[in-house]
A = this chain, B = another copy of it.
Amino acid sequence: MSSELTPLQKRVLDFITECIQDRGVPPTVREIGKRCKIGAPSSVAYHIKQLESKGFLKHEGSISRGLTLPEDADPSRLPVLGRVGAGNGIIAQEDIEGHLRVDPDSARRGDFVLRVRGDSMTGAGILEGDFIQVRPAETARDKQLVVAVTEDDAEGVVKRLRKRGASWQLESENPNYGPITERFRVVGLVVGLIRNYT
Interface residues of A (CB under 8 A from B): 20, 23-26, 28, 58, 60, 63-69, 76, 100-104, 106, 122, 125-127, 130, 145, 189-197
Contacts and interface: CB of A to CB of B under 8 A. Distances in A.
A60 B19 CA distance: 13
A64 B30 CA distance: 13
A24 B20 CA distance: 9
A145 B23 contact: no
Contact of A197 (B20, B66, B190, B196): B190
A102 B67 CA distance: 25
Given A103-B194, A189-B197, 5 more contacts: A25-B25, A25-B68, A101-B101, A191-B196, A192-B195
A25 B64 CA distance: 9
* Residue of A63, A130, A145 with most chain B CB atoms under a 10 A cut-off: A63
A20 B145 CA distance: 39
Contact of A145 (B65, B66, B130, B197): B197
B101 A76 contact: yes
* Residue of A23, A101, A126, A189 with most chain B CB atoms under a 10 A cut-off: A101
